[in-house]
Homo-oligomer: A and B are copies of this chain.
Amino acid sequence: MEHATGHGDILARLEATIAQRRLGDPAASYVAKLNAKGIAKIAQKVGEEGTETVIAALTGDRAELVGEAADLIFHLMVLLSAKDVPLAEVLAELQRREGISGIAEKASRSE
C-alpha cells in the first residue's frame, strides 16, 4: 500500500461512508441495519469481533487475523459514529498517550 493513498485516507473515507449510510435504508445497508437495531447491538458486534480477533491471533492464519482485525475496526467505527464521536478524537487520545513514553506510559495506565 502506498503512503499516497495511506492509512488516513482509507479511514477518513470509511468514516464518511459509515456516516452517510447510518441513517439509510436498513434493507439496503448493513450499517443502517445495525443502527436501526440500536447501540446495544452495535456494541455487541464490537465485543464479538474482539473475541474473534483473539481467536484468530491464537489459532488462525494471517488472513484470518487480517479479516478479524478489519471487522473489529469497522464495527468500532460504526459504534463511534452511532455515538457521534469522530475517529479524530480517538486518534488524538492515542497521540496524547504516545507522548508519554517508556515506563511513564506504563505508569499512566490503570493496571
Number of copies: 4
* Chain A interface, >50% SS class: helix
Please tell me if the beta carbons of A7 and B47 are within 8 angstroms of each other in the complex: no
Interface size class of A (residues with CB under 8 A): 35 or more
Task: Report A17 CB to chain B, min CB distance, Å.
Answer: 6
Using a CB–CB distance below 8 Å, which chain A residues touch chain B? 1, 3, 6-14, 17, 21, 27-30, 33, 39-40, 42-44, 46-55, 57-60, 62, 65-67, 69-70, 72-74, 76, 79-80, 83, 85, 87-95, 97-98, 101-103, 105-106, 109
List 19 additional contacts besides A6-B8, A17-B101, A30-B109; criterion CB under 8 Å.
Answer: A7-B91, A10-B98, A11-B11, A11-B91, A11-B94, A29-B106, A40-B58, A43-B53, A44-B54, A46-B54, A48-B51, A50-B50, A54-B55, A58-B59, A62-B85, A66-B85, A66-B90, A69-B90, A70-B97
Interface pairs (14), CB distance under 8 Å: A7-B91, A14-B95, A17-B98, A28-B102, A29-B102, A29-B105, A30-B106, A40-B58, A47-B50, A49-B50, A53-B76, A62-B83, A66-B85, A66-B93
